Chains A and B, each alone.
Chain A
Amino acid sequence: MSDIGLLREKEASKRRWMLLSPSLLVLVLFASGPLLIVLVYSFLQSGDYGGVVWNFSTQAWFNVVAEKDFFDETIKFSDAHLSIFWRSVRLSLLTTLAAIAVGFPTAYFIATRPKAQRDYWMLLIIIPFWTNLLIRTFAVMEIIRNEGVINSVLLGIGLIDTPIQMLYTEFAIMLGMVYVYLPLMVLPLYASMERLDFSLVEAAYDLYATRWRVLRKVILPLVKPGLVAGAILVFVPSLGAYVTPRVLGGGKQLMLGNLIELQFGQGRNWPLGAALSITLLVIVMTALMIYVRNAEKDGGQHG
C-alpha cells in the first residue's frame, strides 16, 4: 500500500473512533462503570455502619455460599442463602412457564383477530404495564388476601369455612410475578405470531396434521424466536424481583433481590450484597449462554 493510502486508512480509523466515542462514553460511564464498582466492592471489607473499608478481602464471596459457625468456628454451607438461590431460580422458572401457558394462547388469540381489532387487544395487554408496579402488586394482594375478593366469594357461597391462606406464600409471589411480567411474554410472542403465515397452518391441516400436531410441528417452531425472547424477558427480571416478593411474600419468602437489599440495608454488609449481585448476574449469564449454545446447535442441524 502507498504512503497516501496508509495515511488515509489512519485518518479513517481515527474518524471511526471519534464517531463511536459518545456511545462508548455512555457505555463505560453508565453500564460497565457501575458494574465494575460492584465487582470491586465485593472484594473489600465491610464497614461497621455500612459502606466499605478499603482492604482486600474474599470474606464476602466466602459468605455467599458458606458460613462459619459462631461458636466452634466450623465451616458449613450457608443453608439460608442456598435456599434463597434455589427459591429464586425455581420461582422464576415456574413464573416463566406460567407466563408461557397464559401468554401463548393470549398472543395467538390476538394475532388471529382481524387486523383492525388487534391494536385494541394489545392495548388491553399493555395498559397494566403503564400502571405503577407497586399499585399492581397491591392489587394482586387485594384479590388473594384472607379478606380479599377470592376468599370473600368462596366464603360467601359457602364453598369453604375458613379463608385459604394465599398471601405470603410462594404461590402469591409467583402469581404476582406472572401478572406483572405477562406483557413481556405476550409482546414478543405476538410480534412473531403476527408475522406467522397462517396459510402454513392451513397447509398443515390439509396434510392430515391434527390441531395438536399443527401446534407442535408448525406453529411452535416458527414462533420460537418470540417464545425464547419472551422467556428471557420474564425469567431475568423474575430472578432479581424485589417488590413482588417483598409485598406478596411478606418478608418471609425471600428472593435474591430481597437478600441483596437486606445486605445494603439492615445487614450493613455491602461487600456481601455486591458479591450476591454478581452471583445473580452470573446465574443469568449462564442461563443465557446455555440457551445460545443450544440455539447454535439447532441452527447447525437445520442448515
Chain B
Amino acid sequence: MIEIQQLTKIYGAGASSFKALDDVSVTINSNEFFTLLGPSGCGKTTLLRAIAGFVDPTAGSILLNGKDLLSSPPYTRPVNTVFQNYALFPHMSVKQNIAFGLEMLDKPKSEVEQTTQQMMALVRMTEMADRQVSEISGGQQQRVALARALAPKPQVLLLDEPLSALDFKLRKEMQIELKRLQQDTGITFVFVTHDQEEALTMSDRIAVMNAGHILQIGSPREIYNQPAERFVADFIGESNFVSADIVEQRDDGVQVRFSNQQTTLAQSTASSPKSGKVTVAIRPEHARLSNSDEQPLLSGELKQVVYFGTDTHYQIILEDGSDFVLRRQNSPGQSIDMATGEKLGLMFEPGVAQILAD
C-alpha cells in the first residue's frame, strides 16, 4: 500500500516558481492497477517520479507499507520504473538488460539466470536473448523494459506512458498484456497516461489530475458515469454541458429543471452543490431522439450529421444556444433522413444527467 500525504512539489523560486504538485493525497492499494490520468503538465509524471525517487518533494510524505520512502535513495527503494523512452542500456543485450537489476542486488548467479529466463519467457523474448537492444523492434523493446523492471520483483511497478510510442494495434495488444502481467504477478502497478481510453480499459482505479491536483479518484465506471467536475467529464470521453436549477433533493437523486421548464432526475456526488444553478453533464450516447408522441426534455436544431462508421454524431444547437452532441450507434439498413436546420427533441433516462461541482 502506498500512502501519499499532502505531497507538494514546487520547481524554481519566487515569481518564476511552478507548482507541479499541490497538496496531493492518495492511497494506492496493494495489487492494484492504479492509473494517474491527465493532460501533459498536470503533475502526473512528477508524482510518479517522486515515488521512484527522482523528484524530491517540497513537502509531504510517501509511505510504502507504512515505511517512509522519501528518506531512501532510488537504488534502495523496492520500486521499479518502465520509462517512457524505455531507457534500455544500448551497450547490453536483451538478456543483460533484464538481468541488470538482479545483478545490482547481488543475487547469486543461478538465481539471476533462472529469474532472467523466467522473465524472458513471461514477455516472450527468449529467442531474442542475445540480440542487442538496437536490433529489436519498438514493441519488443517495450517488453524488454517491462521484463527488466519486473525481474527484481519490486513491490510497486511504475509505468510512465510506456505505450505512447507504439502504433495503434501494438498498443491495444500491450494493454491486454500489461493487464495480464499485473494479474499474474500481483504487483501494484502505478500507470501514468494521458490517454483516457487506455486508462479506462486497464485500470482498477483512476485518479484524474489537472494543474497539480487530483480531481477525482474512482473506478473507470465511476469516473466515466459520475464525473464530479466539468474537467473530468470533458477530459474522459465526451460530455454535453447543460445549465439547470435544482428543484429538490430526493432519495433516488436530485430533481433538476432545465430552462425550458422540463425536469429530470440527476445524480450528484459529495462535492456537487445542493441548491441553486448548476451544470449537468450528459454523455452523447446516453441521449436519444424523442418519438413524436413524447414531450422532449431538451429541443433544438440539427446543425450537422457526422458519420463515424460504428456510430453517427448529431450536432444540435439547443434552444438556449448551447451545443449538444448526440451519438447513435449505426445499424444496417438505417437511413439518415434528416436535414440540417430540422427541429429535434432529445430524451434521456432518469439518473443519466450528472450534477457537476464547478
Contact = CB atoms under 8 A, between A and B. Distances in A.
B11 interface: no
Interface in A203-221: 203-210, 213, 217-218, 221
A206 B93 CA distance: 19
Interface string A179-207: 00000000000000000010110111111
A206 B82 CA distance: 10
Given A202-B54, A202-B83, A203-B81, A208 B91 contact: no
Interface stretch (B32-40, B69-77, B255-263): B69-77
Among A205, A206, A221, A303, max chain B CB count under 10 A is at A206
A248 to B, nearest CB: 40
A222 interface: yes
A302 interface: yes
Contacts of B89: 200, 203-204, 218
Interface string B90-122: 110100000011001100000000000000000
A208 B149 CA distance: 11
Contacts of A200: 87, 89-90
A106 to B, nearest CB: 23
Nearest to A202: B54
Interface residues of B, number: 27
Contacts of A206: 52-54, 74-75, 79-81, 149
B44 interface: no
Interface in B242-285: none
Nearest to A209: B104
B31 interface: no
Contacts of B205: none
Contact of B75 (A197, A208, A217, A218): A208
Among B74, B130, B132, max chain A CB count under 10 A is at B74
A213 B87 CA distance: 17
B138 to A, nearest CB: 16
A303 B93 contact: yes
A199 B93 contact: no
Given A199-B83, A199-B85, A207 B90 contact: no
A209 B101 CA distance: 7
Given A200-B87, A213-B104, A218-B89, A207 B132 contact: no
Contact of A222 (B85, B90, B93): B90
B91 A207 contact: no
B310 to A, nearest CB: 39
20 contacts: A199-B87, A200-B90, A203-B83, A203-B89, A206-B81, A207-B100, A207-B104, A207-B149, A207-B152, A208-B75, A208-B76, A208-B105, A208-B152, A209-B75, A209-B104, A210-B75, A213-B104, A217-B104, A302-B91, A302-B132
